[in-house]
């Protein structure tokens, strides 16, 4: 029998979880609002500077999230050298900011790369991009080695750091995508934040329904050694619920307001018929839900490997920022590379 004290502790934990969850909702809502305002203000010809301001606020917020999650990662692997943490965060921020993709993709994408035609050509050079990219990764590994980190641990830190970088880079690339090179100078064609929010909704729905169905019907353990509470029933329930809702939302947008289509940010979406676009929605809804659950398991594996429950306790009742954004990072990393491949073959 549970004591009154246990009951009070449980209620207090639930209260903290609800309050911190509500705070997170508004914080991440503000974060997304910066992208919404960047996109929407761009189409108003007298609001270009204001659009840039909100775009930079979004980028600064993303770098802050990168820094916070990097610190959680370093603490997980017991990295104590403050100077090493600072240098690695700077390298991570540079990787986040550096351009990846061909010149045409950069011109149509995030505003920070298209301020000058010659700059776009220079940044769009694949040899320049890959040279800088691998130099920064090599530098991160070198910093860890000079403080006598084991090779395997150093590789894990660099790899997880790259997942974080590309997760935020993918979200930024999608959310801040507006057709900046439209013949009239302004366009409402892409409105990338619609796609970014749609994907994030898919992640939240998968996690939420997997938790609900797992708690209600879970009997068959999915990965007991990695995450004992996850079940196949929960995974299937989360997958089906998320996929159905995502497809419904995307088709509704397609039929009601075509300028705000999901995946207008992709080059190949411009040449598809309506039925092909709907097929695309189905494929991506499935991919997002599956990748989301894989991402959750991947970060659960890291925590189990390092013998911790959460990456930090910065968010009462929820753990760390990385605990809340684990699936987010993996899903948007995958989306970034899909966009990158699309830019080269499109």
Q: Please indicate, yes or no, if residue 313 is contained in any of the structural domains.
A: no
| Whether residue 176 is found in the same domain as residue 195 | no
Tens of pLDDT, residue by residue over 159-195, are: 999 999 999 999 998 888 765 544 444 444 456 788 8
Contact between 139 and 91 (Cβ < 8 Å): yes
Looking only at the bridges linking them, the beta strands covering 227-231 and 221-223 are antiparallel
The whole-number pLDDT of residue 100 equals 84
Confidence of residue 60 (pLDDT cuts 50, 70, 90): very high
Q: Which domain holds residue 7?
A: 1-180
Kindly report which listed range (6-10, 228-232, 257-261) carries the lowest average pLDDT score.
6-10
The whole-number pLDDT of residue 205 equals 94
| Whether residue 12 is found in the same domain as residue 96 | yes
| Whether residue 221 is found in the same domain as residue 167 | no
> Which residues does residue 227 pair with via DSSP β-bridges, in sequence order?
223
Q: Please indicate, yes or no, if residue 329 is contained in any of the structural domains.
A: no
Task: For residues 139-148, give the mean pLDDT.
Answer: 94
Tens of pLDDT, residue by residue over 297-318, are: 999 999 999 999 899 888 887 7
Tokens of 157: 């830190």
Share of the chain above pLDDT 70, in %: 84
pTM confidence score: 0.90
Q: Please indicate, yes or no, if residue 324 is contained in any of the structural domains.
A: no
Q: What total of structural domains would you count in the chain?
A: 2
Q: How long is the chain?
A: 346
282/307 Cα distance (integer angstroms): 38
The whole-number pLDDT of residue 8 equals 47
Neighbours of 122 (CB within 10 A): 12
């Amino acid at each position: 029998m549970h004591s009154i004290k246990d009951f009070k502790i449980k209620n207090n934990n639930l209260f903290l979880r609800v309050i911190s969850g509500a705070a997170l909702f508004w914080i991440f809502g503000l974060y997304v609002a910066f992208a919404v305002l960047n996109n929407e203000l761009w189409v108003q010809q007298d609001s270009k500077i204001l659009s840039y301001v909100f775009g930079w606020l979004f980028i600064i917020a993303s770098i802050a999230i990168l820094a916070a999650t990097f610190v959680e990662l370093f603490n997980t692997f017991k990295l104590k050298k403050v100077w090493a943490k600072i240098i690695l965060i700077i390298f991570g921020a540079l990787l986040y900011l550096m351009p990846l993709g061909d010149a045409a993709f950069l011109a149509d994408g995030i505003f920070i790369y298209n301020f000058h035609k010659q700059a776009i050509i220079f940044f769009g050079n694949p040899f320049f991009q890959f040279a800088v990219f691998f130099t920064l990764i090599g530098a991160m590994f070198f910093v860890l080695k000079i403080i006598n980190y084991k090779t395997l641990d150093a590789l894990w830190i660099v790899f997880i750091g790259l997942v974080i970088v590309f997760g935020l880079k993918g979200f930024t690339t999608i959310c801040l995508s507006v057709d900046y090179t439209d013949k009239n100078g302004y366009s409402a064609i892409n409105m990338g934040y619609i796609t970014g929010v749609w994907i994030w909704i898919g992640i939240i729905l998968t996690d939420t329904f997997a938790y609900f169905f797992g708690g209600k019907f879970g009997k068959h353990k999915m990965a007991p050694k990695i995450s004992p509470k996850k079940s196949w029933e929960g995974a299937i329930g989360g997958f089906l619920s998320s996929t159905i809702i995502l497809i419904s939302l995307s088709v509704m947008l397609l039929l009601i307001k075509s300028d705000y289509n999901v995946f207008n940010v992709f080059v190949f979406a411009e040449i598809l018929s309506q039925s092909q676009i709907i097929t695309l929605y189905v494929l991506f809804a499935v991919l997002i839900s599956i990748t989301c659950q894989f991402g959750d398991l991947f970060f659960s594996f890291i925590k189990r490997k390092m013998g911790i429950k959460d990456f930090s306790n910065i968010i009462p009742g929820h753990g760390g920022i990385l605990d809340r954004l684990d699936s987010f990072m993996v899903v948007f990393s995958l989306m970034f590379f899909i966009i990158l491949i699309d830019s080269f073959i499109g």
